[in-house]
Amino acid sequence: MRSPAPWSALAGPPAVREPSPTFSPEAVRALFPALTETADVYLDSASTTQKPRPVIEAIHRYHSSRTANAGRGTYPWSTGLTRALDTVRERTAEFLGATPQEVVFTAGATAGLNAVALAWGLATLEDGDEILYSPRDHASNVYPWIQLRATLARFGRRLHLVPYRITPLGEADIDDIAAKLTPRTRLITVSHLHHVFGARTTLEELRGRLDPRVLLCFDCSQSAGHLPVDVTDLGADFAVLSAHKMFGAPGTGVLYCHRRVHDRLGTFLPGGNSGVAPSGSGLLPTRMPEQLEGGTHNIPGILALGAALEFLGEIGPDAVAAHNLDLTQRLIAGLRPLPGLEFLPGPAHAPCETGYGIVSFTLDGISATDLGFVLAEYGFLVRTGAHCVPDPTSTPKETAAEDDSVRVSTHLYNTADEIDRFVRCLATIATEVR
């Protein structure tokens, strides 16, 4: 699964501040076939990342050589794949600072969050319990809790969803969360790195202040692959990853479940791994992580995740974070003087240099959608719209989503020159629309 050339061969000469990673983005870029075949500038990595050659080869290898099911046979093709998936699980655990038994393979981050709602929420929540959440998070970290509330209501259990605010910096408002904690709070769910604002939240200010019964759930879809993620440092009970946002394939994700919650989980996706109790009263609990992994694994997707983790490991998450910090600050500095441009909450409003590769803004005189079309005509591919923030009609008015905006999101294959060209293009558009 390794890259065609050792990373030492890809390293460039020592760079000054612009940019300052320990690798050459131009050399890394050569490992991404889609980027070598186009002159377009891809600035939508928060939606999905481009795929490096080792990931593509891992998927192709599974489908073209000894395709079999894992954990279902005793012949070498099957047992070899079983060992390969175990290796990816171990690598994922190391990536997160977890143990293999705490790593569950899912169909994506959305599936992981729904697994928490169904496997944990249905099994443990009682009438009157509360979950603290942000209505301005990704819909996948809002709608599962709304659906859980509706499901529990059918059985006579009231679940209260308590919204908390976001600061002007785009982070979860810790003071507001602390003020809304009650003896009935059972879960706080948060975006580790916000998908629109590009701001990081760790909840570290709450450590030592929470009742042990309050669990923490982190959506790490945007942070994984962009900066180091250590679930132990976060104090996470649950955390989800999205493989396709960290160079892997769509339809694959990871759910981290701290071992202290294992005995509170019901079976999720009962199937071939399940067993019926002798009394016929229900399903027997199985060991983790199999208890939450029903059906056939997405084998090529998990193998691709392993290749993506190895790829990231060769570069190092610190180097990726440093590169995205440089690009974020360069982008903000270039956009700040433009007439009519307004930044959404995020690193542009921070008192110090911060940034993880996501910047969102609006421009007077043109809608975000129209601006996206114009930028695409010039070869700059960005995301526009509400960015999967929930419909404001389903959330409290005081915490409703922002209007449509343009989101620029970078990764290790983007260069300082691309950012400069994007800024020049947007400067021309800003002048024309005024």
Q: Bridge-partner residues for 366, per DSSP? A: 363
Mean pLDDT value of segment 372-393 = 82
Q: Quick one: 285 and 363 in the same domain?
A: no
Whether 263 maps to a domain, the answer reads: yes
The whole-chain average pLDDT of the chain stands at 89
Q: Can you tell me the distance from the alpha carbon of 152 to that of 147, in angstroms, rounded to the nearest whole number?
A: 9
Q: Are 136 and 399 in contact (CB under 8 A)?
A: yes
Q: Quick one: 148 and 235 in the same domain?
A: yes
Of the pLDDT bands very low, low, confident and very high (cuts 50, 70, 90), residue 280 is low
Of the pLDDT bands very low, low, confident and very high (cuts 50, 70, 90), residue 281 is low
Strands 215-219 and 185-191: parallel
Whether 416 maps to a domain, the answer reads: yes
Residue the block writes with tokens 């084998």: 299
Virtual torsion, Cα 421, 427, 430, 434, nearest 10 deg: -150
Q: Quick one: 127 and 254 in the same domain?
A: yes
* Maximum average pLDDT range among 106-110, 283-287, 390-394: 106-110
Whether 24 maps to a domain, the answer reads: no
User: For 125-182, how does the pLDDT look when each residue is reduced to its tens digit (9 = 90+)?
Assistant: 999 999 999 999 999 999 999 999 999 999 999 999 999 999 999 999 999 999 999 9
Taking CA atoms, 397 is separated from 39, 131, 150, 195, 392, in Å, by: 43, 18, 20, 21, 7
Whether 207 maps to a domain, the answer reads: yes
DSSP string, 240-273: EEEGGGTTS-TT-EEEEE-GGGGGG---SS-STT
Number of domains in the chain: 2
| Boundaries of domain holding 173 | 76-311
Of the pLDDT bands very low, low, confident and very high (cuts 50, 70, 90), residue 44 is very high
Mean pLDDT value of segment 352-381 = 96
pLDDT at 390: 72
pLDDT at 397: 46
Kindly report the pTM of this predicted structure. Answer: 0.89
Residue 264: which CATH number? 3.40.640.10
Whether 53 maps to a domain, the answer reads: no
Burial 363-396 (b: 16+ CB within 10 A, else e): beebebeebbebbeeeebebbbebbbbbebeebe
Q: Quick one: 330 and 291 in the same domain?
A: no
Q: Bridge-partner residues for 362, per DSSP? A: 342
Q: Can you tell me the distance from the alpha carbon of 253 to that of 302, in angstroms, rounded to the nearest whole number?
A: 8
pLDDT at 403: 67
Mean pLDDT value of segment 319-336 = 96
Q: Quick one: 300 and 339 in the same domain?
A: no
Q: Is the pLDDT of residue 205 over 60?
A: yes
pLDDT at 399: 40
User: For 221-257, how does the pLDDT look when each residue is reduced to its tens digit (9 = 90+)?
Assistant: 999 999 999 999 999 999 999 999 999 999 999 999 9
Q: Quick one: 299 and 326 in the same domain?
A: no
Nearest alpha carbon to residue 105 among 302, 273, 389? 302
Of the pLDDT bands very low, low, confident and very high (cuts 50, 70, 90), residue 14 is very low
pLDDT at 272: 65
Q: Quick one: 248 and 394 in the same domain?
A: no
Residue 333: which CATH number? 3.90.1150.10
AA letter at 89: R
pLDDT at 279: 57
How many residues does this entry show for the chain?
434
Whether 48 maps to a domain, the answer reads: no
Taking CA atoms, 389 is separated from 36, 128, 157, 221, 394, in Å, by: 32, 27, 27, 14, 11
Whether 157 maps to a domain, the answer reads: yes
Q: Quick one: 295 and 427 in the same domain?
A: no
Domain boundary among 311, 327, 361: 311
Q: Quick one: 335 and 304 in the same domain?
A: no
Domain boundary among 268, 294, 311: 311
pLDDT at 66: 86
pLDDT at 358: 97
Q: Can you tell me the distance from the alpha carbon of 176 to that of 169, in angstroms, rounded to the nearest whole number?
A: 14
Q: Quick one: 368 and 304 in the same domain?
A: no
Virtual torsion, Cα 115, 390, 248, 232, nearest 10 deg: -60
**Alpha helices, DSSP H only, in 282-397?**
299-315, 317-335, 368-377
220 catalytic per annotation: no
Q: Quick one: 399 and 338 in the same domain?
A: yes
Among the listed residues 220, 352, 388, 425, the single catalytic one is: 388
Q: Is the pLDDT of residue 5 over 70?
A: no
Q: Is the pLDDT of residue 332 over 80?
A: yes
Mean pLDDT value of segment 391-398 = 51
Mean pLDDT value of segment 348-352 = 94
Of the pLDDT bands very low, low, confident and very high (cuts 50, 70, 90), residue 286 is confident
Whether 35 maps to a domain, the answer reads: no
Phi and psi based region of residue 314 (left: phi greater than 0; alpha: psi -120 to 50; beta: remaining): alpha
Domain boundary among 277, 311, 345: 311
Half-sphere exposure of 297 (CA within 13 A, CB side): 28
Q: Quick one: 109 and 123 in the same domain?
A: yes
Q: Is the pLDDT of residue 2 over 90?
A: no
Q: Is the pLDDT of residue 271 over 90?
A: no
